[in-house]
Amino acid sequence: MPDKIESNKIKEDSTKEYNEKQKNVDKRNRYNKIKNTKKNSQYEDLDKFYTNLDDSTKDDSESIKELKEKLLNLEKERDEIIKNEDHNVDQLTNIRTSIREIKLKIERLENKEKLIFPNTEFNGGVAVLNKENNKIQLLFDNKPNNTTIQVVKSNGFNWYKEDMAWQIECTIRNIEKTKDLIEIVLNKMPVNQKEEEEEFD
């Protein structure tokens, strides 16, 4: 009989411990949900702003002008927050992040016209610059073998089924990376090796 009482007590203790742990998990989940909701609302206006800038009817000069106006407003807002000794640290961090992102966007747009990548043939395909979406694209004559796919992916290229191409954003760094990839790897790899008949990832 004492053994049965002891066994019941152990079960009760285990149940209590489990319930306490579950309460903590629930609290943590609720906290994260609230935190993410607040974070999302802070970036909502910025997301709308970027969406508007991606409007295909706008040219780069219009986008740059709008970005610079937004940047100026954010910098003023940042300065006002700093003046307040009791300023919200998270708010200041978010504004600084937004300022960095806008500066990078301006830099990319201003350098876009300076970027030149001529069509370059390689063993089994050709690399081209798609100016419309500012991407360097690798167009293979046939599906590359798995080794080639892994090398291409490891160099930052992603497969886009709608364009039937492996592509990466056209930046000065990525232009050099693509040239090296073609010269050092793609031109020296065998083509038309029949391996697994899987679709591109």
Instruction: Say if residue 93 is in the same domain as residue 144.
Output: no
The CA distance from 109 to 107, in Å, is: 6
Is the pLDDT at 195 greater than 50, yes or no? no
Q: Which tens digit of pLDDT belongs to each residue from 20-76? A: 666 666 656 665 555 455 445 444 444 444 444 444 345 667 888 899 999 999 999
Phi and psi at residue 90, to the nearest 5°: -65, -40
Residue with tokens 């049965």: 4
Domain boundary among 87, 112, 137: 112
Instruction: Say if residue 76 is in the same domain as residue 151.
Output: no
Say how many residues make up the chain: 201
Burial of 185 (0-12, 13-18, 19+ CB in 10 A): middle
What single DSSP character describes residue 60?
A: H
CB neighbour list of residue 178: distance below 8 Å, 6 or more residues apart:
117, 120, 127, 136, 138, 155, 168
Domain boundary among 61, 95, 112: 112
Q: Is residue 147 part of a domain?
A: yes
Encode burial over 166-182: b for 16+ CB neighbours within 10 A, e otherwise.
Answer: bbbebbeebbebbeebb
Q: Is residue 19 part of a domain?
A: yes
pLDDT > 90 in the chain, percent: 40
Q: Which tens digit of pLDDT belongs to each residue from 95-109? A: 999 999 999 888 877
Average of per-residue pLDDT across 126-143: 92
Q: Is residue 76 part of a domain?
A: yes
User: Which range marks the domain in which residue 157 is found?
Assistant: 120-188
Domain count, the chain: 2
pTM: 0.47
Instruction: Say if residue 106 is in the same domain as residue 126.
Output: no
Is the pLDDT at 166 greater than 80, yes or no? yes
Q: What is the pLDDT of residue 17?
A: 64
Is the pLDDT at 143 greater than 50, yes or no? yes
Instruction: Say if residue 130 is in the same domain as residue 108.
Output: no
Domain boundary among 95, 112, 129: 112
